[in-house]
C-alpha cells in the first residue's frame, strides 16, 4: 500500500471555542462498518450542488489505516444513502490552519448534537504538531468517537 493511501489521524475533544467560519455541511452514511473495513458515502456542501465521495477504509493499525476516496455523482450518493446501515451522521466541518497542519473541527447535529471533535492528519504517527488552546483530551483510541460508531450509537444515547 502506498503511503498516500494511508490515513494517520488523531482525534481530540474540543473544550474551548475555536472560531467557526466558513463551515461545510456534511451528511454521511455507512454501507459497511465492521472491524476490518468501512465503506462510507458522504455529501459535502449543499445536497444539490455539493461534492459526493465514496470512501473505503481498511482495518486500523493504531492511528493509521488504509483509505481510498472516489468522487461520485451527487445523485448516486443520495440514492446510496438509502442503503446505509444505522443513522445518517450530520455535521458541519470547520478547518483551521495552525502551524504546518490543518485541524478539522466537526460540530455534530441530530442525534450527535453537543459533540464537537477536532481531527488532525499526520504524515507519521510520531509527528509533532501544535495544539491550539481549545483542544481537550485525545479520543483517537476510543471507538465510540468514530463516525461509523456515531451512526450506530449516537452521542445522545451514551
Give the residue numbers marked as catalytic. 30
Q: Which residues of 126-138 are buried (b: 16+ CB within 10 A; e: fewer)?
A: eeeeebeebbeee
Residue 129 cell numbers, joined: 504538531
CA 39, distance to chain mean position in Å, is: 13
Q: Do residues 74 and 47 make contact, with C-beta atoms less than 8 angstroms apart?
A: yes
The residues facing 101 across adjacent strands are 98
Q: DSSP class of residue 130?
A: P
Q: How far apart are CA 97 and CA 49, in angstroms?
A: 26
Amino acid at each position: 500500500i502506498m503511503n498516500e493511501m494511508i490515513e494517520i489521524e488523531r482525534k481530540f475533544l474540543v473544550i474551548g471555542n475555536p472560531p467557526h467560519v466558513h463551515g461545510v455541511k456534511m451528511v454521511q452514511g455507512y454501507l459497511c462498518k465492521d472491524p476490518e473495513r468501512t465503506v462510507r458515502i458522504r455529501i459535502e456542501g449543499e445536497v444539490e450542488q455539493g461534492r459526493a465521495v465514496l470512501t473505503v477504509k481498511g482495518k486500523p493499525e493504531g492511528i493509521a489505516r488504509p483509505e481510498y476516496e472516489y468522487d461520485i455523482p451527487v445523485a448516486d450518493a443520495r440514492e446510496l444513502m438509502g442503503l446505509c446501515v444505522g443513522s445518517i451522521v450530520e455535521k458541519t466541518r470547520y478547518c483551521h490552519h495552525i502551524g504546518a497542519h490543518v485541524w478539522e473541527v466537526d460540530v455534530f447535529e441530530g442525534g450527535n448534537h453537543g459533540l464537537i471533535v477536532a481531527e488532525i492528519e499526520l504524515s507519521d504517527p510520531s509527528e509533532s504538531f501544535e495544539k491550539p488552546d481549545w483542544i481537550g483530551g485525545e479520543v483517537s483510541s476510543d471507538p465510540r468517537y468514530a463516525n461509523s460508531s456515531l451512526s450506530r450509537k449516537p452521542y445522545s444515547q451514551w
